[in-house]
């Protein structure tokens, strides 16, 4: 009986680690929440986004210290810019493609994107963090900057599937984007109240 349990446990371990050893490329599809309508009153905003991460690898699907790399499909900056653009338009801002005398600049910097997953035979921890910096620097009349952190923490018993990874990662990214869009001080700076 003990040999059967040992074989079953070993087979389960191989199955779990086989999934985790596979590299995973996730698609970024943030969800923008409902926002206040027309607070932007047609103000033009130019989004200037940069990615300060040292690598496109965000983490590893790890089982007992071994795993496959997790990366992002496509251009992360474009995905974030598209979501922020959608949110600003919902708020009544007019997003333009370049800077101009009538536009305010919203600088967005992607600072941190970390996927940390460790799964053993009895338990696991998944910790995803995503951090944006938002800077409004319209002119000498105003300046504002803040950091926006999105997180998702899970306790999976087995290594998450590719679909689960995508869901968890998009939760963290959406949190950070929605915090940026709901920051009333950032909104006021973009409108440039005097």
pTM of structure: 0.84
Q: What is the mean pLDDT of the chain?
A: 83
The predicted structure's pLDDT at residue 55 = 87
pLDDT tens profile 131-188: 999 999 866 567 899 999 999 998 877 777 888 889 999 999 999 999 999 999 999 9
Residue found by looking up tokens 């968890």 in the block: 168
The predicted structure's pLDDT at residue 98 = 87
User: Tell me, what CATH number does 61's domain have?
Assistant: 3.30.160.150
Return the structure tokens found at 165.
Answer: 């990874």
Cα(154)–Cα(173) distance, integer angstroms? 15
Q: Is 65 left (phi over 0), alpha (psi -120 to 50) or beta?
A: left
Mean pLDDT for 93-106 is 90
- Number of structural domains (the chain) is 1
Where is pLDDT greater, at 33 or 19? 33
Whether pLDDT at 18 is above 60: no
Range of the domain at 92: 2-191
């Amino acid at each position: 009986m003990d040999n059967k349990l040992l074989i079953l446990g070993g087979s389960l371990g191989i199955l779990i680690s086989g999934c985790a050893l596979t590299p995973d490329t996730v698609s970024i599809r943030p969800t923008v929440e409902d926002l206040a309508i027309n607070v932007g009153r047609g103000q033009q905003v130019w989004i200037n986004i940069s990615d300060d991460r040292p690598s496109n690898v965000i983490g590893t699907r790890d089982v007992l210290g071994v795993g496959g790399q997790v990366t992002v499909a496509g251009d992360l900056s474009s995905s974030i810019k598209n979501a922020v653009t959608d949110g600003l338009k919902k708020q009544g801002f007019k997003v333009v493609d370049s800077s101009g005398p009538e536009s305010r600049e919203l600088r967005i910097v992607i600072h941190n994107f970390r996927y940390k997953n460790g799964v053993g035979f009895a338990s696991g921890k998944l910790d995803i963090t995503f951090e944006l910096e938002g800077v409004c620097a319209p002119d000498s009349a105003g300046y504002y900057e803040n950091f926006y952190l999105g997180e998702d923490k899970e306790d999976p018993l087995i290594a998450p599937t590719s679909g689960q990874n995508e869901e968890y990662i998009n939760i963290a990214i959406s949190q950070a984007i929605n915090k940026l869009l709901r920051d009333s001080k950032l909104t006021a700076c973009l409108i440039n109240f005097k």
